[in-house]
Amino acid sequence: MNVAALVERLHTAARTATAIPRLTSAGDLDVATAYQVQAELVRRHGERLVGIKMGLTSRAKMQQMGVDEVIWGRLTEGMWVPDGGAVAHDRMIHPRVEPEVAFRLDADGEPVAVAVACEVIDSRYADFSFTLPDVIADNTSAAAFVVGPWRPLPAGLANLGVLLEVDGRVVQTGSTAAILGDPLRALARGRELARAAGLMAAPGWVVLAGAATAAVPLPAGSRVRVVVEDLGTASLTATAPG
């Protein structure tokens, strides 16, 4: 399939908040080409890169999405919403939220700080349904994210309790152990994959380690909070309908 045409299809789907059929429903797409589509798509969006995200690093997510391989995507400045800020619900197709841990990198790509994060994902495919190459091409469903206050790396990150709340109700609970056994492992894998793709970490880069639980729908007008034991919180609101 023609990379430029696939990029255009995904770009338009994102910009108009209109779901499209999976790319693989029209023909074969291999993983390497899918990453090429992702790179071109993010270039097409025309936004500065601020880091990378890991995806499907927990069993909960692999099971929910029916894809059992770790993937990575690109984070851009337009996706980064200030902690406590609002995401534009009507500019998305069927947004979901998930609890994450974020790292901030120094010039050598080493983590210097950690924070709680909340990611908003919004697959550009109908019914939020895709195969591995589809989701890679779609920049791993990336739509928006918030990062709570940064703090120095604690002694251990491998087994901290995680809560996801929507309008004050706990809707998911889990542990950072779900993220490849330790979010630091997801970070290491992300750096490796980005480097293999020729992307060098810049100082201040953010790395999302991947969701610790399954994602839940983000209702218009709702408020979401993620709490991670010892690390703090991150929150966002979704703009109201109409």
Q: Say which entry of Mg ion, ligand OOG, none residue 139 contacts (CB below 5 to 8 A, set by partner kind).
A: none
Question: 12 or 136: whose CB is closer to Mg ion?
Answer: 136
Q: Alpha carbon of 204 to those of 43, 77, 200, 201: distances in Å? A: 20, 12, 12, 8
Q: Alpha carbon of 38 to those of 72, 177, 227: distances in Å? A: 10, 29, 31
Question: 116 or 211: whose CB is closer to Mg ion?
Answer: 211
The distance of closest approach from Cβ of residue 212 to Mg ion in the complex, given in angstroms and rounded to an integer, is 9
- Residues in region 104-123 near Mg ion by CB under 5 A: 119
The distance of closest approach from Cβ of residue 51 to ligand OOG in the complex, given in angstroms and rounded to an integer, is 13
d(CA 7, CA 108) in angstroms, rounded, equals: 31
**Beta strands per DSSP E along the chain:** 49-55, 71-76, 86-87, 96-105, 111-121, 142-147, 161-166, 169-175, 206-208, 216-217, 223-228, 232-238
Question: Distance between the two ends of the chain, CA-based, in angstroms?
Answer: 38
- Annotate each residue in 112-151 with x if it binds ligand OOG (CB under 6 A) or - if it does not, as one string: -------x-x-x-----------x----xx----------
Indicate the angle between helix axes 3-16 and 31-45, nearest 10 degrees. 50
Q: Alpha carbon of 53 to those of 27, 64, 141, 219, 221: distances in Å? A: 27, 18, 10, 23, 26
Question: 141 or 176: whose CB is closer to ligand OOG?
Answer: 141
- Annotate each residue in 44-83 with x if it binds ligand OOG (CB under 6 A) or - if it does not, as one string: ---------x-xx----x---x------------------
Question: Of the listed pieces 160-168, 181-189, 209-217, 231-239, which binds Mg ion according to CB under 5 A?
Answer: 209-217
The distance of closest approach from Cβ of residue 193 to ligand OOG in the complex, given in angstroms and rounded to an integer, is 14
Pick the closest to residue 49 from 196, 202, 191 (CA basis): 202
Q: Alpha carbon of 205 to those of 95, 202, 208: distances in Å? A: 24, 6, 10
Question: 80 or 106: whose CB is closer to ligand OOG?
Answer: 80
Question: 34 or 135: whose CB is closer to ligand OOG?
Answer: 135
Q: Say which entry of Mg ion, ligand OOG, none residue 61 contacts (CB below 5 to 8 A, set by partner kind).
A: ligand OOG
Does 211 engage in binding with Mg ion (CB under 5 A)? yes
Q: Alpha carbon of 134 to those of 70, 79, 140: distances in Å? A: 14, 20, 8
Question: 12 or 226: whose CB is closer to Mg ion?
Answer: 226
Residues near Mg ion (CB under 5 A) are: 119, 211
Residues engaged in binding ligand OOG (CB under 6 A): 53, 55-56, 61, 65, 98, 119, 121, 123, 135, 140-141, 210-211
